[in-house]
A = this chain, B = another copy of it.
Amino acid sequence: MDKNILGTNIVAQVGILVHDIEKTSQVYADFLGVEKPRCQVTGAYDEALTEYMGKPSKARAKLAFFKVGPTLELELIEPDQEPSTWRNDLDRYGEGVHHIAFVIKGMKEKIAVLGRNNMPLLQKGEYPGGRYAYIDANEDLKVVLELLEND
């Protein structure tokens, strides 16, 4: 395997799939002793340009974030019914951890290098001010990775 592929070893997010984000974010807020955050919704296709398994998808998700460290967030994710890694994994494995995320620079190059290292792209998309990619690193790292690049 190529060494230090991402150029960082700081985990920025742990993503958790849920069926009902309003309910589960209230439970997390109580559990952590914080205000319930406002849920965000990922962009429609013309903004997010979501691709899942190489094909355009209208998939969207509701998101809620909790600060759980100086550089770490828990991210709750409630996907809609359109094709996505979120929907696939929620249907297949149920609620629970979906990915760990790293903030990187140079998305295209990182996706290419990961692909050559047995870690193929699952899904990618845009968000205001940046872009993300989910990477299937299950075989080697036993997790799905998310790359986040902010402009």
Residues of A within 8 A of B (CB): 1-6, 9-11, 14, 16-18, 24, 27-28, 30-34, 66-72, 74, 93, 95-97, 100, 138, 140-143
Contacts and interface: CB of A to CB of B under 8 A. Distances in A.
Contacts of A27: 1, 140-141
Given A1-B31, A14-B11, A95-B142, A69 B70 contact: yes
A100 B14 contact: yes
Nearest to A142: B95
A70 B68 contact: no
Contacts of A66: 9
A99 B18 CA distance: 16
Contacts of A138: 95-96
A70 B5 CA distance: 20
A46 to B, nearest CB: 31
A16 B69 contact: no
Nearest to A95: B142
Given A1-B27, A95-B142, A71 B74 contact: no
